Structure 1
């Protein structure tokens, strides 16, 4: 029974670490709309280095953790961004490409 608990605890720990690591990945996209008053930005996700990279997925709206991140970008800019962990739609890092 102790071995089973130990294995289960290890699997859970690996799962948590993997989810945190995945949350830190940068995603490429193009800004379609910025609302500086509300601190939100709409970004269309694009695929990097593929044929037809100009066509992207659906546009999603994200909250920005720090409104100063929006000062350096404009609609139409291609950016890379990172989201906060735990599946929230909050951008923690936003960089112009």
Structure 2
């Protein structure tokens, strides 16, 4: 029983850490696809400069929006600043601003 509880506690801690990555500071990226019928947007996250990489493209993520009006101000190819939360494994945009 003790080992099982330890494993469950570790899994819960990893879940909290993973979801906090979405809620971190504003991220920057480029809009690659907008689906206005399903209120989703795909954003290619731009990596911050690191050794050997001066800010290249990062992971492509798809996010849902709570409000369809968020998508009205942006188009594919636009650079954006955004914030998102993780709800049951689905990323949801909380902020989206065109740069």
TM class, shorter-chain normalised?
A: 0.5 to 0.7
Who is 2:6 aligned against? Answer: none
Over 3 Å counting, the alpha-carbon distance change for 1:91 and 1:80 in structure 2 is same
Deviation of 1:52 (Å):
3.4
Q: As a proportion of its length, which structure holds more strand?
A: 2
In 1: Cα distance, 2:24 partner to 2:54 partner: 26
Secondary structure of the corresponding residue to residue 89 of structure 1: strand
Who is 1:35 aligned against? Answer: 35
Deviation of 1:88 (Å):
4.2
Any conservation in 2 of the 1:84–1:91 contact (CA below 8 Å)?
Answer: yes
In 2: Cα distance, 1:29 partner to 1:62 partner: 13
Give me the TM-score of the superposition, normalised by structure 1: 0.67
CA-to-aligned-CA distance 1:42-77 (integer Å, 9 cap, x gap) = 000002466533x31121111012110000000000
Who is 1:26 aligned against? Answer: 26
- Following TM superposition, the consecutive aligned residue runs of length 4 or more in structure 1 with deviations greater than 3 angstroms are 48-52, 85-88
Give me the TM-score of the superposition, normalised by structure 2: 0.66
Segments of structure 2 that go 5 or more residues without pairing to the other structure are: 1-15
Segments of structure 1 that go 5 or more residues without pairing to the other structure are: 1-15
- The alignment yields a C-alpha RMSD, in angstroms, of 2.5
Does residue 57 in structure 1 map to residue 58 in structure 2?
yes
Aligned pair count reads: 79
Highest CA radius of gyration, 1 or 2? 1
